[in-house]
Amino acid sequence: MGGLAFVFAGQGTQYTGMGKDFYENSPSSRNVFDILDRIRPGTSSQCFTASKEELSVTENTQPCVFAAEMAAVAALEEKNIRPDAVAGFSLGEISALTYSGLFSLEEWFEFIMKRGVAMNRAAETENGRMAAILRLDADVIRKICATRKKVWPVNYNCPGQTVISGIESSVSEVVEECRKLGGKGIFLSVNGAFHTPLMAEASDTIDTLLEKKTFQTPRFPIYSNVTGEIMETGLLRQRIAEQVKSPVLWSKTIDSMRRDGITMFIEIGPGKVLSGLIRKNFPDAVIANVEDMPSLGNAVEMADRYRR
């Protein structure tokens, strides 16, 4: 038996109804939504009933996905399942930090709302877009991006899948060039050029928001999107701020966790995107997800077997 990690989903996984099953069946999850509704009225209703279009606006996506994830992990805590380490993909990294106890749920939620506004403002400055490129090597994609303006490879998800981000015209050109080489491009449900230098202003805003925060000692090791390694305690503020303008090294993160003895992963939050990426990076891993009551039951059963 190895270690168990919780991994938190990122922006783009949102869907209408996320978190509702937990709200209706888990007292701890309902309490999470009640707390967040007092800070941002209507958050639970937005998670449960808002359209895909409404949920895809960054100012809505980030607090809603965060709420769904914190409700999901609260339901998992009720079952006495806890990890040995945590990580999160992009926005999910904030959920991982919250769960690790660096500061309170309320403080992180207020931070998430301001982070979403800052990123949305930066997104509106440029007409940004993101797309996943499949079936091509990351080096090939990097070379193609270098021939266009304001477009970069930003999410290194797994072998054969790299996400590009930048201004819409350049992203479309790179997608078309990749298609000619046998690749496949899938545009993502986000409204900005995230994890690029175009997010520099948002990064500066986030750094300022964290300036006066006092970080508690994390309950678990937290693996960083920026480095793919465990976050250094003295660099928490820097890593959180630079994350929005830096590539997500997800493939390296999974490799690092595997090296450190993690062999089971529970994906927290809407969808199973990370589960699929983990499987491609680490075929022998034990993987479960928690996004509703049935998946919670399955994850608890798998974790109990794994811990024996």
Residue 174 is part of a domain; what is its CATH number?
3.30.70.250
Cα distance between residue 24 and residue 42, in whole Å: 16
Q: Last residue of a domain, which of 144, 161, 187?
A: 187
Task: Indicate the pairing of strand 222-223 with strand 184-187.
Answer: unpaired
CB 70 within 8 A of CB 32: yes
- Do residues 225 and 90 share a domain? yes
Q: What is the pTM of this model?
A: 0.95
Cα distance between residue 185 and residue 188, in whole Å: 10
The residues, ordered by sequence, that sit 6+ positions from 244 with a Cβ below 8 Å of its Cβ are 115, 119, 194, 195, 199, 202, 203, 206
Q: Please list the pLDDT of the chain residue by residue as tens digits (308 residues).
A: 579 999 999 988 999 999 999 999 999 999 999 999 999 999 999 999 999 999 988 899 999 999 999 999 999 999 999 999 999 999 999 999 999 999 999 999 999 999 999 998 998 888 899 999 999 999 999 999 999 999 999 999 999 999 999 999 999 999 999 999 999 999 987 888 999 999 999 999 999 999 988 899 999 999 999 999 999 989 999 999 999 999 999 999 999 999 999 999 999 999 999 999 999 999 999 999 999 999 999 999 999 999 87
Is 90 tagged catalytic?
Answer: yes
Q: Last residue of a domain, which of 187, 214, 237?
A: 187
CATH classification at residue 83: 3.40.366.10
- Do residues 226 and 174 share a domain? no
CB 95 within 8 A of CB 62: no
Is 195 tagged catalytic?
Answer: yes
Q: Last residue of a domain, which of 159, 187, 215?
A: 187
Tell me which of 26, 29, 44, 90 is the catalytic residue.
90
Tell me which of 29, 170, 195, 246 is the catalytic residue.
195
Q: What is the pLDDT of residue 1?
A: 52
Q: Give Cα 79 distance to the centre of its chain.
A: 23
- Do residues 27 and 161 share a domain? no
- Do residues 159 and 272 share a domain? no
- Do residues 118 and 181 share a domain? no
- Domain count within the chain: 2
- Do residues 232 and 274 share a domain? yes
User: What's the domain range around 7?
Assistant: 3-124+196-307
- Do residues 214 and 115 share a domain? yes
- Do residues 8 and 152 share a domain? no
- Do residues 149 and 13 share a domain? no
- Do residues 25 and 79 share a domain? yes
Task: Indicate the pairing of strand 184-187 with strand 128-134.
Answer: antiparallel
Instruction: For residue 51, count other CB atoms closer than 10 A to its CB.
Output: 9
Residue length of the chain: 308
- Do residues 153 and 204 share a domain? no
The residues, ordered by sequence, that sit 6+ positions from 230 with a Cβ below 8 Å of its Cβ are 85, 221, 222, 223, 224, 256, 260
- Do residues 293 and 242 share a domain? yes
Cα distance between residue 64 and residue 42, in whole Å: 10
Q: What is the pLDDT of residue 179?
A: 96
Q: What is the pLDDT of residue 56?
A: 87
